[in-house]
Structure 1
Amino acid sequence: MSSYQVRPATLRDAKAIAQIHTSSAQEVYRGIVPDDQLKAMSSVEKRQAYWREAIEYCEPQVQVAIDGDKIVGFVGFDRSRDEKSRQTTGEIWAIYAAPTHWDQGVGVALWDAARDGLVEEGCTNVTCWVPLRNERALRFHESAGFKREMTTAKTAVVGGVKIEEVRLKRALS
């Protein structure tokens, strides 16, 4: 049982979500994306605007993990954005914990909440896209039962740098 509470995000949470998203991305992409481009893609304001809109329109659904009165992580999930996926396929659009809270159960609490939300929406499977060089995220998702679909590997552009990504998938039952 997790000591973190997870609740739906409110508009007031957008700045904290953006700060976690930025600090985590900087840690994760260090050594993968050149430092100058990493710095350029680290605008908390742009991420805050994105997450405010996501929260306002519930696309994706956003939930936050709370430790005491502080937001320490978030998850965005909804139906899959992949064109050929079934209506019963959900997707983890983003899942991040503050680097100060890595390996402390935040991700598990967020995953549990997202899984429950996707099941409520009628989803039977869930996918996520993860950079192949993000070993931390791959380990996390695989420990949660996701399996790599290597035939889905694609190149995404992150901060002007090409990053190889792979889709992971698991059943929700």
Structure 2
Amino acid sequence: MDESHIDAVSALRVRSWQSAYRGIIPQSHLDGMTAAEDARRRRAWFASSRDQVVDLVAVDGHGDTVSGWICFGSYRGETDAQAPGEVYALYVDPARTGRGIGRDLLDSAHHHAAAHRFSTMQLWVLRDNTRAREFYAAAGYVADGAVEVDMYGETAVSELRYRRPLMSR
């Protein structure tokens, strides 16, 4: 991904949150999300993490519409050579889920991560996001018992850590 994709990725991310997290994240938070604000934060993140993070996008057959995005790198910014990798984000256009786009992006991330020293990948998924949990389980990820709680106003939302070994290349 290059910087030219940021606006499209941000719009995709906001649409995905508003679709996938309805009933999990407070609606007031989802309604308050904007692609413009997300793009502002994403540009800052992109500039500061360019050498530590890999962003891949899936585009439609014409190459002009972003249909999916995955972002990954070292687990929570670890620099230790033995640290696992982490999928920070994976989103697919809600109108295109179920078409293999997410699976293709995840497979690409696994191949890239294995080629660049990671033997394990980890990720965090919302406990109540059943569809995502099933998706990651089908891709070989297993919950390892770690739990984080994020607060959205007065609402506590639990995330579970999943992990998966990678094949060495």
Question: Which TM class, normalised by the smaller chain length?
Answer: 0.7 to 0.9
For residues 46 and 34 of structure 1, what CA distance do their matches in structure 2 show? 18
Structure 1 counterpart of 2:36, from 37, 40, 45: 45
Could you tell me how far apart the structure 2 residues matched to 1:82 and 1:149 are? 20
> Which of 141, 156, 159 does residue 150 from structure 2 map onto?
156
Computed over aligned residues only, the root mean square deviation of the Cα atoms, in angstroms, reads 1.9
Supply the distance in 1 between the matched residues of 2:96 and 2:121 (Cα, whole angstroms).
25
Could you tell me which runs of 5 or more consecutive residues in structure 2 were left unpaired when the two chains were aligned.
none
User: What's the TM-score, normalizing by structure 2?
Assistant: 0.88
Distance 2:76 2:6 in 1: 22
SS in structure 2 of the partner of residue 81 of structure 1? helix
Q: Which range moved further: 95-104 or 44-53?
A: 44-53
3-state SS of paired residue (2:117): coil
Amino acid in the other structure paired with 2:91: Y
Q: How many residues align?
A: 162
Tell me how far apart the structure 2 counterparts of residues 171 and 159 of structure 1 sit (CA, whole Å).
35
Unaligned runs of 5+ in 1: 1-8
Runs of 4+ in 1 over 6 A off after TM superposition: none
Distance 1:86 1:149 in 2: 21
The alignment partner of 1:32 has SS state of coil
Q: Are 2:86 and 1:63 aligned?
A: no
Give the letter aligned to residue 47 of structure 1: D
Change (3 A) 1:157 1:87: farther
Of 16, 20, 33, which aligns to 2:25? 33
Q: Deviations over 1:17-63 (max 9, x none)?
A: 001100000011111223222212x1212211232234333242111
Q: CA deviation at 1:124?
A: 0.2
> Match of 1:26, as an amino acid?
Q
Give distance in 1, aligned partners of 2:44 and 2:134. Answer: 30
